[in-house]
Protein backbone atom coordinates (compact mmCIF):
# COMPACT_ATOMS: atom_id res chain seq x y z
CA UNK A 1 0.00 0.00 0.00
CA UNK A 2 2.81 2.41 0.90
CA UNK A 3 4.56 1.58 -2.36
CA UNK A 4 1.42 2.37 -4.38
CA UNK A 5 0.93 5.68 -2.57
CA UNK A 6 4.55 6.60 -3.15
CA UNK A 7 4.29 5.82 -6.85
CA UNK A 8 1.11 7.91 -7.11
CA UNK A 9 2.84 10.80 -5.36
CA UNK A 10 5.76 10.67 -7.79
CA UNK A 11 3.43 10.54 -10.81
CA UNK A 12 1.58 13.64 -9.63
CA UNK A 13 4.84 15.46 -8.88
CA UNK A 14 6.39 14.63 -12.24
CA UNK A 15 3.36 15.73 -14.25
CA UNK A 16 3.13 18.89 -12.16
CA UNK A 17 6.67 19.75 -13.23
CA UNK A 18 5.85 19.00 -16.86
CA UNK A 19 2.67 21.04 -17.05
CA UNK A 20 3.78 24.13 -15.17
CA UNK A 21 7.42 24.45 -16.26
CA UNK A 22 8.23 25.68 -12.78
CA UNK A 23 11.88 26.29 -11.96
CA UNK A 24 12.45 24.22 -8.86
CA UNK A 25 15.03 25.41 -6.32
CA UNK A 26 18.33 23.61 -5.83
CA UNK A 27 20.06 23.27 -2.49
CA UNK A 28 23.07 25.23 -3.77
CA UNK A 29 21.01 28.03 -5.33
CA UNK A 30 23.15 30.71 -3.60
CA UNK A 31 26.25 29.53 -5.48
CA UNK A 32 24.45 29.06 -8.81
CA UNK A 33 22.32 32.17 -9.17
CA UNK A 34 22.93 32.46 -12.91
CA UNK A 35 20.56 29.50 -13.37
CA UNK A 36 17.74 31.75 -12.18
CA UNK A 37 18.72 35.41 -12.55
CA UNK A 38 20.56 36.83 -15.58
CA UNK A 39 21.58 39.90 -13.55
CA UNK A 40 23.86 37.73 -11.39
CA UNK A 41 26.37 37.29 -14.24
CA UNK A 42 29.65 38.69 -12.97
CA UNK A 43 28.54 38.95 -9.34
CA UNK A 44 31.46 36.91 -7.98
CA UNK A 45 34.76 38.32 -6.78
CA UNK A 46 36.61 36.45 -9.50
CA UNK A 47 36.35 37.51 -13.14
CA UNK A 48 35.86 34.16 -14.92
CA UNK A 49 33.88 31.32 -13.33
CA UNK A 50 32.12 28.09 -14.22
CA UNK A 51 30.06 25.54 -12.31
CA UNK A 52 28.59 22.08 -12.71
CA UNK A 53 25.57 21.05 -10.63
CA UNK A 54 23.87 17.65 -10.62
CA UNK A 55 20.75 16.88 -8.60
CA UNK A 56 19.67 13.24 -8.21
CA UNK A 57 16.15 13.43 -6.82
CA UNK A 58 14.39 10.53 -5.06
CA UNK A 59 17.18 8.17 -6.13
CA UNK A 60 15.40 5.00 -5.00
CA UNK A 61 12.48 5.66 -7.38
CA UNK A 62 12.84 4.37 -10.93
CA UNK A 63 12.45 7.18 -13.46
CA UNK A 64 12.84 9.93 -10.84
CA UNK A 65 14.19 13.37 -11.90
CA UNK A 66 17.86 13.94 -12.68
CA UNK A 67 18.77 17.61 -13.11
CA UNK A 68 22.09 18.85 -14.51
CA UNK A 69 23.20 22.43 -15.05
CA UNK A 70 26.41 23.95 -16.41
CA UNK A 71 27.01 27.69 -16.33
CA UNK A 72 29.86 30.10 -16.85
CA UNK A 73 30.28 33.87 -16.65
CA UNK A 74 32.88 36.49 -17.52
CA UNK A 75 33.05 40.04 -16.17
CA UNK A 76 34.87 42.65 -18.25
CA UNK A 77 38.02 44.22 -16.83
CA UNK A 78 36.30 47.57 -16.27
CA UNK A 79 33.66 45.76 -14.17
CA UNK A 80 30.79 47.45 -16.01
CA UNK A 81 29.22 44.41 -17.67
CA UNK A 82 29.32 40.63 -17.78
CA UNK A 83 28.30 37.80 -20.07
CA UNK A 84 27.06 34.39 -19.01
CA UNK A 85 25.87 31.10 -20.47
CA UNK A 86 23.84 28.41 -18.74
CA UNK A 87 22.77 25.00 -20.05
CA UNK A 88 20.31 22.75 -18.21
CA UNK A 89 18.98 19.24 -18.67
CA UNK A 90 16.10 17.67 -16.73
CA UNK A 91 15.21 14.00 -17.29
CA UNK A 92 12.45 12.05 -15.55
CA UNK A 93 10.60 8.98 -16.71
CA UNK A 94 9.63 9.65 -20.35
CA UNK A 95 10.32 13.39 -20.23
CA UNK A 96 13.42 15.34 -21.24
CA UNK A 97 13.70 19.11 -20.94
CA UNK A 98 16.77 20.93 -22.31
CA UNK A 99 17.49 24.65 -22.05
CA UNK A 100 20.24 26.90 -23.42
CA UNK A 101 20.48 30.56 -22.36
CA UNK A 102 22.73 33.53 -23.02
CA UNK A 103 22.84 36.20 -20.31
CA UNK A 104 23.96 39.84 -20.26
CA UNK A 105 24.39 41.92 -17.12
CA UNK A 106 25.18 45.63 -16.79
CA UNK A 107 26.75 46.79 -13.50
CA UNK A 108 25.80 50.28 -12.36
CA UNK A 109 27.68 51.72 -9.39
CA UNK A 110 25.27 53.27 -6.89
CA UNK A 111 27.87 54.07 -4.24
CA UNK A 112 31.46 53.41 -3.22
CA UNK A 113 30.59 49.88 -2.12
CA UNK A 114 27.25 49.19 -3.76
CA UNK A 115 26.05 48.49 -7.28
CA UNK A 116 22.91 47.54 -9.15
CA UNK A 117 23.12 44.67 -11.63
CA UNK A 118 20.57 44.64 -14.46
CA UNK A 119 20.31 41.52 -16.61
CA UNK A 120 18.66 40.17 -19.74
CA UNK A 121 18.36 36.58 -20.96
CA UNK A 122 17.60 34.96 -24.30
CA UNK A 123 17.28 31.23 -24.74
CA UNK A 124 15.54 28.15 -26.04
CA UNK A 125 13.65 25.48 -24.11
CA UNK A 126 13.01 22.07 -25.65
CA UNK A 127 10.63 19.55 -24.08
CA UNK A 128 10.22 16.00 -25.34
CA UNK A 129 7.92 13.25 -24.13
CA UNK A 130 8.54 9.67 -25.23
CA UNK A 131 6.05 7.11 -23.79
CA UNK A 132 8.55 4.29 -24.32
CA UNK A 133 10.63 5.78 -21.51
CA UNK A 134 7.85 5.64 -18.93
CA UNK A 135 8.42 3.44 -15.93
CA UNK A 136 5.12 4.02 -14.13
CA UNK A 137 2.66 2.59 -16.66
CA UNK A 138 2.31 -0.74 -18.37
CA UNK A 139 3.00 -0.97 -22.09
CA UNK A 140 0.01 -0.85 -24.40
CA UNK A 141 -1.88 2.07 -22.83
CA UNK A 142 -3.28 3.72 -25.97
CA UNK A 143 -3.91 7.09 -24.35
CA UNK A 144 -0.34 7.36 -23.12
CA UNK A 145 1.17 5.99 -26.35
CA UNK A 146 -0.61 8.69 -28.38
CA UNK A 147 0.63 11.55 -26.20
CA UNK A 148 4.23 11.69 -27.47
CA UNK A 149 5.41 15.18 -28.45
CA UNK A 150 8.46 17.35 -29.02
CA UNK A 151 8.31 21.15 -28.67
CA UNK A 152 10.88 23.94 -28.77
CA UNK A 153 10.09 27.34 -27.33
CA UNK A 154 12.12 30.61 -27.29
CA UNK A 155 12.28 32.51 -24.02
CA UNK A 156 13.30 35.96 -22.84
CA UNK A 157 13.97 36.82 -19.22
CA UNK A 158 15.09 39.74 -17.08
CA UNK A 159 16.34 40.39 -13.57
CA UNK A 160 17.81 42.88 -11.12
CA UNK A 161 20.25 42.45 -8.27
CA UNK A 162 21.53 44.84 -5.60
CA UNK A 163 24.96 44.09 -4.19
CA UNK A 164 27.05 45.45 -1.32
CA UNK A 165 30.61 44.25 -1.93
CA UNK A 166 30.60 40.51 -1.25
CA UNK A 167 28.71 40.99 2.02
CA UNK A 168 25.08 41.26 0.88
CA UNK A 169 22.94 40.63 -2.21
CA UNK A 170 19.24 40.77 -3.04
CA UNK A 171 17.82 39.99 -6.46
CA UNK A 172 14.53 39.43 -8.27
CA UNK A 173 14.02 37.86 -11.68
CA UNK A 174 11.59 36.35 -14.14
CA UNK A 175 13.74 34.03 -16.31
CA UNK A 176 10.82 33.27 -18.65
CA UNK A 177 9.06 36.65 -18.68
CA UNK A 178 8.33 36.22 -22.39
CA UNK A 179 7.79 32.92 -24.20
CA UNK A 180 5.71 31.82 -27.15
CA UNK A 181 2.18 30.96 -26.13
CA UNK A 182 2.02 27.23 -26.87
CA UNK A 183 -0.92 25.96 -24.87
CA UNK A 184 -0.08 22.29 -25.39
CA UNK A 185 3.44 22.93 -24.07
CA UNK A 186 2.80 25.13 -21.06
CA UNK A 187 -0.88 24.53 -20.29
CA UNK A 188 -1.29 28.33 -20.25
CA UNK A 189 -4.54 29.42 -21.91
CA UNK A 190 -4.25 33.15 -21.07
CA UNK A 191 -4.71 35.38 -24.12
CA UNK A 192 -3.26 38.49 -22.49
CA UNK A 193 0.54 38.72 -22.36
CA UNK A 194 0.55 40.13 -18.83
CA UNK A 195 -1.68 37.31 -17.55
CA UNK A 196 0.49 34.46 -18.84
CA UNK A 197 2.03 32.13 -16.32
CA UNK A 198 5.71 32.69 -15.62
CA UNK A 199 8.30 32.08 -12.92
CA UNK A 200 9.22 34.78 -10.38
CA UNK A 201 12.27 34.33 -8.18
CA UNK A 202 13.66 36.30 -5.25
CA UNK A 203 17.03 35.53 -3.66
CA UNK A 204 18.95 37.25 -0.92
CA UNK A 205 21.90 36.50 1.32
CA UNK A 206 24.63 37.93 3.51
CA UNK A 207 28.10 37.13 4.78
CA UNK A 208 28.46 37.87 8.50
CA UNK A 209 32.07 37.80 9.83
CA UNK A 210 32.67 35.85 13.04
CA UNK A 211 36.34 36.75 13.28
CA UNK A 212 39.22 36.73 10.83
CA UNK A 213 38.74 33.14 9.68
CA UNK A 214 35.03 32.42 10.06
CA UNK A 215 31.79 33.55 8.38
CA UNK A 216 28.12 32.84 8.91
CA UNK A 217 26.18 32.98 5.62
CA UNK A 218 22.35 33.02 5.71
CA UNK A 219 20.43 32.84 2.41
CA UNK A 220 16.80 32.79 1.32
CA UNK A 221 15.31 31.80 -2.02
CA UNK A 222 11.63 32.27 -2.90
CA UNK A 223 10.30 30.60 -6.06
CA UNK A 224 6.81 31.33 -7.37
CA UNK A 225 4.75 29.96 -10.25
CA UNK A 226 0.94 30.33 -10.51
CA UNK A 227 0.39 26.59 -10.98
CA UNK A 228 2.47 25.48 -8.01
CA UNK A 229 2.35 28.47 -5.71
CA UNK A 230 5.32 29.60 -3.66
CA UNK A 231 8.29 27.57 -2.45
CA UNK A 232 10.68 29.14 0.05
CA UNK A 233 14.13 27.85 0.99
CA UNK A 234 16.04 29.24 3.98
CA UNK A 235 19.55 28.12 4.79
CA UNK A 236 22.60 29.07 6.83
CA UNK A 237 26.17 27.89 6.39
CA UNK A 238 29.18 28.20 8.68
CA UNK A 239 32.39 28.78 6.75
CA UNK A 240 36.06 28.44 7.59
CA UNK A 241 37.57 30.71 4.95
CA UNK A 242 39.24 28.98 2.00
CA UNK A 243 38.89 25.59 3.68
CA UNK A 244 35.49 24.16 4.67
CA UNK A 245 31.81 25.01 5.04
CA UNK A 246 28.70 23.23 6.34
CA UNK A 247 25.07 24.14 6.90
CA UNK A 248 21.37 23.34 7.05
CA UNK A 249 18.48 24.28 4.79
CA UNK A 250 14.73 24.21 5.42
CA UNK A 251 12.06 24.33 2.72
CA UNK A 252 8.38 25.22 2.81
CA UNK A 253 7.66 21.89 1.08
CA UNK A 254 8.87 20.14 4.26
CA UNK A 255 12.36 19.27 3.10
CA UNK A 256 15.44 19.28 5.33
CA UNK A 257 18.84 19.52 3.66
CA UNK A 258 22.29 18.94 5.14
CA UNK A 259 25.09 20.64 3.18
CA UNK A 260 28.88 20.51 3.31
CA UNK A 261 31.74 21.52 1.06
CA UNK A 262 35.44 22.14 0.82
CA UNK A 263 37.92 24.34 -1.02
CA UNK A 264 39.95 21.65 -2.80
CA UNK A 265 42.39 24.23 -4.19
CA UNK A 266 42.51 27.95 -4.92
CA UNK A 267 40.47 27.27 -8.08
CA UNK A 268 38.22 24.33 -7.14
CA UNK A 269 35.31 24.31 -4.69
CA UNK A 270 33.14 21.24 -4.13
CA UNK A 271 29.78 20.99 -2.37
CA UNK A 272 27.41 18.17 -1.45
CA UNK A 273 23.83 18.26 -0.18
CA UNK A 274 21.59 15.50 1.17
CA UNK A 275 17.89 16.24 1.22
CA UNK A 276 15.15 14.42 3.13
CA UNK A 277 11.62 15.05 1.92
CA UNK A 278 9.07 14.81 4.73
CA UNK A 279 5.95 15.27 2.62
CA UNK A 280 5.44 11.50 2.33
CA UNK A 281 6.16 9.01 5.09
CA UNK A 282 8.90 7.09 3.34
CA UNK A 283 12.67 6.93 3.68
CA UNK A 284 12.88 6.47 -0.09
CA UNK A 285 12.32 10.15 -0.86
CA UNK A 286 15.86 11.41 -0.49
CA UNK A 287 17.94 13.50 -2.87
CA UNK A 288 21.66 13.94 -3.52
CA UNK A 289 23.10 17.13 -5.00
CA UNK A 290 26.69 17.65 -6.16
CA UNK A 291 28.20 21.01 -7.06
CA UNK A 292 31.64 21.63 -8.56
CA UNK A 293 32.67 25.29 -8.88
CA UNK A 294 35.78 26.45 -10.77
CA UNK A 295 37.62 29.78 -10.89
CA UNK A 296 39.38 30.28 -14.23
CA UNK A 297 41.06 33.67 -13.76
CA UNK A 298 44.49 33.79 -15.43
CA UNK A 299 44.29 30.06 -16.13
CA UNK A 300 46.16 30.27 -19.41
CA UNK A 301 48.48 33.16 -18.58
CA UNK A 302 52.12 32.20 -18.91
CA UNK A 303 54.24 32.58 -15.81
CA UNK A 304 57.11 35.03 -16.11
Q: For residue 247, count other CB atoms closer than 10 A to its CB.
A: 22
Least confident range from 134-138, 209-213, 232-236: namely 134-138
Please write down the HEC assignment for all residues of 145-175.
HCCCEEEEEEEEEEEEEEEECCCEEEEEEEE
The 3-state DSSP class for residue 31 equals helix
Examine the pLDDT at 137 and tell me if it is beyond 90: no
Examine the pLDDT at 268 and tell me if it is beyond 80: yes
Q: pLDDT, tens digit, for every residue of 41-53?
A: 999 989 999 999 9
DSSP codes of every residue in 191-232: -SGGGS---EEEEEEE-EE-SSSEEEEEEEEEEEETTTEEEE
In total, how many domains does the chain have? 1
In a domain, 301, yes or no: no
Examine the pLDDT at 180 and tell me if it is beyond 60: yes
Q: pLDDT, tens digit, for every residue of 182-232?
A: 665 566 666 677 778 889 999 999 999 999 999 999 999 999 988 888 999
**H helix runs in the chain, sequence order:** 2-20, 142-145, 183-186
Q: In angstroms, rounded to a whole number, what is the distance separating the alpha carbons of residues 164 and 111?
A: 9
In a domain, 302, yes or no: no
Owning domain of residue 277: 2-295
What integer best gives the mean pLDDT of the chain? Answer: 85
The 3-state DSSP class for residue 47 equals coil
In the chain, the N- to C-terminal Cα span, in Å, equals 69
In a domain, 124, yes or no: yes
Q: In angstroms, rounded to a whole number, what is the distance separating the alpha carbons of residues 51 and 266?
A: 15
Residues 8-20 have a mean pLDDT of 46
In a domain, 277, yes or no: yes
Please check whether residue 27 is in contact with residue 289, taking contact to mean a CB–CB distance below 8 angstroms: yes
Examine the pLDDT at 1 and tell me if it is beyond 60: no
Which pLDDT value is given to residue 7? 46
Model confidence at 156, in pLDDT bands (50, 70, 90)? very high
Q: What angle do CA 281, 284, 288 make, to 5 degrees?
A: 125
Which pLDDT value is given to residue 60? 77
**CATH code (residue 84):** 2.40.160.40
Q: pLDDT, tens digit, for every residue of 83-104?
A: 999 999 998 877 889 999 999 9
Please check whether residue 251 is in contact with residue 259, taking contact to mean a CB–CB distance below 8 angstroms: no
In a domain, 304, yes or no: no
In a domain, 300, yes or no: no
Least confident range from 3-7, 224-228, 285-289: namely 3-7
In a domain, 303, yes or no: no
In a domain, 280, yes or no: yes
Nearest to 48 by CA among 22, 23, 74, 18: 74
Q: In angstroms, rounded to a whole number, what is the distance separating the alpha carbons of residues 261 and 267?
A: 14
Answer yes or no: pTM beyond 0.75: yes
Q: In angstroms, rounded to a whole number, what is the distance separating the alpha carbons of residues 45 and 288?
A: 28
Which pLDDT value is given to residue 61? 78
Which pLDDT value is given to residue 302? 59
Amino acid sequence: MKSNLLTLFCVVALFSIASSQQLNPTAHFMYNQLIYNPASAGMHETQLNTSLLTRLQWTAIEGAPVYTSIWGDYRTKKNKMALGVNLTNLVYSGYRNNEANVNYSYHLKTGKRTKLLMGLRAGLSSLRFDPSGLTIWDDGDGTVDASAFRKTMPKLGAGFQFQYLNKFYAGIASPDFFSTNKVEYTGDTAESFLKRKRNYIFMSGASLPLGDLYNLKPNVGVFYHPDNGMTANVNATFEIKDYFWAGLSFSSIRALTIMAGTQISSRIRFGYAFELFAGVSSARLYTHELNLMLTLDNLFRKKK
